[in-house]
Structure 1
Amino acid sequence: MKQSIIHPALVASALFISSCASLKLSATDGESVRNAAATVAYGLMSHYTNNQSTTPAADVGSFVSPEGVDKLYWWNSGAIWGGMVDYAMYSGDNSYVEATKHALAANVGEKADLIIESKRGEEGTDDQAFWALSMMSAAESGFPAADGAPAYIDVAEGAFKSITSRWDTTSCNGGLFWQIYADNANGLKYKNSVANGGLFQLAARLALHKKDDSFANWAEKVWDWTTKIGFIDSNYAVYDGAGTENGANCAKIDHNRWTYNHGLFTYGAAAMYAHTGNKVWLERTQALVKAADYFFNHHSEAPGVLAEVVCEQKTCNMDQQSFKAYLSRWLGKTAKLVPETASTITPWLKSSAEAAAQSCSGDKNQCGTKWYTGGFDGLPGINQQLCALETIQSLMLSIESKGDHDQGSDAKSSIVPTPSPTPSPSPAVPEPSIVASSSHIEEPVQFAPTAVDSIAPTPAAPTPYASPAVPAPSEASDSVCEEPVVVTVTETGTVTMTVEPTAEVLPTSVCETPVVVTVTVTSSSFAGVEPTSIIKPTTAVVSSHVSAPAAPSSPPVPTAVVPPVPAMPTSGFVVPTGHATPSPLPFDGAASKRSAASAVFTVAVAALMLFL
């Protein structure tokens, strides 16, 4: 993952939006999108309190719903951390990296396969798969790992082996049960799209990431079974599942269509196309995207706005309140991975993100449930924040990559799901005959869940960059006013620096015009830095105006807008953040009219100034 550190002086700015006004968002303005995402991310992470010294190890990484509200289950927390991995990757804001990496490490399980005994009463196949998909996101983005933790990709693969070991042929000619344990309240009596779709996407992404067809073979196997049994129909609608009790054999399908099921298969198909290059997978991906119109155009008063059709009339439970987040997440990734789909997906995400922002007009920008109402509906919560965040931050991908608008996924398609070619046997991932238990075939991994007292403390705020003083000459001269002052930056220490090509600092100068200071970056460690405009190569030159004869009496404050990072919450609980509570600074938001883009980046520097 390419990271940058947001300037700590701007940490509090995300909270300055009035609590009675909707969140400001221009869906085509990257800066506006990042600002809005930062505000919503803060609102989401304000709910996370299981990072304190008194938190039991088994609870680290789990969000807790407020008293009097439905329980937020373990799988839901895993899904949230996947969103926070993406937030850090897309925005460059590392405020929640420490909390995220320790939450992931604390939940890998004794065998690093995401089977956790303390969660036995609530862990199903889908729960395990959602945590595994978050581990995949961390692996794909190069997300930092906690000290001593197993590699994210190893955990994802461990979960894959665990899940595939439970492929069951005693009913419905195959497929995965929703649950893992027969003594679970829901038992082994229902096979559904979320369990099988979770394996499908996990296998496809493992195949793409590891360039290993043995995983692709399993993705093909799951797709073929799912379409044959009827969980995906000829129009690419994805249904919930079917029972197996009393010889039902998946004959009576629950035809409810949920956003998260659709998202699982859509991005899984996209990953299969990216891995294989097979046009069949492109057609399947496009057809699934086209079928997602059901969720975006269900309400005529809000065309293009995402809705959880089945339950949004105040009947969604805690789980269901989060489902929209995953469709937004995986559609955004699909548009990036398969640009042919972007012309359909991107307008939906823009309309939905703007509607979500309008709903975030509750107290302290709490977000609502029903985005098609045009405002806050009075139904806030943890998952409402997650849905808004995922939809808004997905725009960061679409703004950067517009996709191929000549080949949109709204093209007519008569493709009907058909069995894939029989995959070749894969010795690396053996298929069991009949397994419907919680047994595991891998050896235990020597890694214990992260203890709370081993979690790194919140680091101090990085030292802000201060422009080096320019000593005043004995007298003013034309050469002083006309010649540039050169500052050479070398690699010896760590600071955070804000550079804006046209930022003008009020001078105390004998010159009528400011002198250009040229900052030359000379370290190869900047190769991963990607600001909004010009500091992209390993050696770069930018200019900033300062006074020639003397430095200002105090460090100047640029008026440039940079993506804000939410401030520390009020006292009473701990929210992970990489910054100390700063003094608030005004900012212009998306309304800034400067033509030059600001660039915020982290450099290892000690300033050696050469002046005339």
Structure 2
Amino acid sequence: MRFTHLVISSLTFIQSLALDLDTSDSKSICKAASTIAQGALHYYDGSEYGGSVGCFKPPYYWWEYGVAFGSLIKYQHLCEDNTHENLVYNAIVSQMGDDKNYQPTNQSNTEGNDDQATWGLTVLEAAENGFKSPEQDGHPSWTQLAKNVFDAIYKRWDEDSCNGGLRWQYEESRGGYNYKATVANANLFQMSARLARLTGETKYVDSAKEIYNWILGSGLAHEGEWGIEVYDGSYTDDNCTDVTKVLWTYNYGVLLAGTAYLYDVTKDEEWKDRTSKIISGSQILYNNTVLYERACQTYDICNTDQRVFKAIYARYLAIAAKLIPDTAETVKGLIEPSAEAAAQSCSGGSDGVTCGLNWNIDGWDGKYGLGEQLSALEIIQNLLVTDRDGPKKHN
């Protein structure tokens, strides 16, 4: 939510507005989620005069817009509240691009493989959760749009370096072209697993296995003593032999959801085991049972992108509990304390319900932004994931 400096005389009033969350009560959860979602939309540009439909205000990047709309689709499903449906629908339709694969011309100078795949995952949220259909307006279905995104990215699979994998950027002129980022590959892996489940087409099972095997074989994910660790990426300059072993929440989340979806498709216990091991490995990301972006929060250096990573992890951790009920108790233990901590952090700003970044301290930490709102939204609304219908699938 928009930040304005507080004055001493308003502190009592602001404290009275802080979110009140009962993690066992769906009405309380959705009331809190509604407040946070509305706060996230204070950063949206598309509803204002002169603004761009589908875009948030600077300093946020296009990929984070996709995360935001995915979170709002999830909110509509979990809380059965369609307040934002038309806004979200118009936004995601506006960004599909001339080729209907989420390569819009307004993002042609900045879009990378991970950005495009993030939007592919957003339209998969729409397809799986029965969101308002674009076909009524003459557009391809959400499923077809996701297929288009997958096809556009998968054709960039690069066998000429590191024995495969996607580069972070797909244009050679952009910084990061020589980096094979885990998130780009894990996003494509998850897209493939979800398309396999949604369409019943075995080619997506095959591609998902290929992508996962490359991630594991290249060292971007590693099975250690406490579970599977997920690293950030590696450079083509040295044939991907020197892995950047930084741990980010979103890399864990994207990968574990892909393995959970693939288990649901194949019923192969190997994928269930991998999901459990990634969840176990992700517990290093917690600080006293509360989710913590350790790589940057430890030093108070989280940038605009990094502040939304916890939202992605929370969404995908939760879906694993729905797809693999054996993990539900573990997932609940990882989500509930963080949801309580996130709610009490949403006590800042001039409105008294702006969410912070650090959930480990008592109250608001003075940080604010779209990433902070989305992270709190996802960790709180996904308390309901096992109580609602699961994602739709091919019959």
**Which of 175, 178, 184 is the equivalent residue of 1:189?**
178
Change (3 A) 1:194 1:319: same
Query: More helix per residue: 1 or 2?
Result: 2
The structure number with the bigger radius of gyration is 1
Would you say 1:37 and 2:27 are equivalent positions?
Answer: no
**Which of 318, 322, 329 is the equivalent residue of 1:343?**
329
**What residue identity is the alignment partner of 2:47?**
N
Would you say 1:286 and 2:276 are equivalent positions?
Answer: yes
d(CA) in 2 for partners of 1:311, 1:45: 25
Change (3 A) 1:273 1:295: same
Would you say 1:308 and 2:293 are equivalent positions?
Answer: yes
Look up the match of 1:19: 14
8 Å CA contact 1:306–1:324 kept in 2: the answer is: yes
**What residue identity is the alignment partner of 2:22?**
S
8 Å CA contact 1:139–1:153 kept in 2: the answer is: yes
Taking the TM superposition and a 5 Å limit, the aligned residue runs for 1:357-396 are: 357-363=343-349, 364=351, 365-396=353-384
d(CA) in 1 for partners of 2:55, 2:383: 27
Change (3 A) 1:400 1:75: closer
**Which of 28, 44, 53 is the equivalent residue of 1:60?**
53
**What residue identity is the alignment partner of 2:54?**
G
For structure 2, list consecutive stretches of 5 or more residues without a partner in the other structure.
Answer: 1-11, 390-395
d(CA) in 2 for partners of 1:40, 1:394: 13
**What residue identity is the alignment partner of 1:308?**
E
Look up the match of 1:323: 309
d(CA) in 2 for partners of 1:49, 1:159: 25
Cα deviation code 1:119-143 (max 9, x no counterpart): 1221000000000000000001110
8 Å CA contact 1:181–1:187 kept in 2: the answer is: no
Would you say 1:158 and 2:148 are equivalent positions?
Answer: yes
d(CA) in 1 for partners of 2:126, 2:53: 18
8 Å CA contact 1:242–1:254 kept in 2: the answer is: yes
d(CA) in 2 for partners of 1:377, 1:54: 33
TM-score by length of 2: 0.91
**Which of 219, 230, 239 is the equivalent residue of 2:231?**
239
Taking the TM superposition and a 5 Å limit, the aligned residue runs for 1:494-573 are: none
**What residue identity is the alignment partner of 2:102?**
L
**What residue identity is the alignment partner of 1:205?**
R
Identity of aligned residues (%): 36
Shift of residue 292 of structure 1? 1.3
Taking the TM superposition and a 5 Å limit, the aligned residue runs for 1:163-178 are: 163-178=153-168
d(CA) in 2 for partners of 1:29, 1:399: 11
**What residue identity is the alignment partner of 1:178?**
W
Shift of residue 49 of structure 1? 2.6
**Which of 125, 130, 137 is the equivalent residue of 1:137?**
125
Shift of residue 375 of structure 1? 1.4
Q: Alpha carbon RMSD of aligned pairs, Å?
A: 1.5
Look up the match of 1:208: 197
SS in 2 for 1:368: coil
Would you say 1:227 and 2:216 are equivalent positions?
Answer: yes
SS in 1 for 2:54: coil
d(CA) in 2 for partners of 1:18, 1:140: 41
**What residue identity is the alignment partner of 2:130?**
G
SS in 2 for 1:286: helix
Change (3 A) 1:154 1:18: farther
Shift of residue 400 of structure 1? 5.6
d(CA) in 2 for partners of 1:187, 1:27: 41
Would you say 1:277 and 2:272 are equivalent positions?
Answer: no
Change (3 A) 1:387 1:18: farther
Cα deviation code 1:146-191 (max 9, x no counterpart): 423321111100000011100001110000000011112x152000
Give the number of aligned pairs.
369
**Which of 21, 24, 27 is the equivalent residue of 1:28?**
24
SS in 2 for 1:20: helix
d(CA) in 2 for partners of 1:383, 1:93: 22
Shift of residue 18 of structure 1? 5.4
Taking the TM superposition and a 5 Å limit, the aligned residue runs for 1:352-431 are: 352-363=338-349, 364=351, 365-399=353-387
d(CA) in 1 for partners of 2:343, 2:152: 39
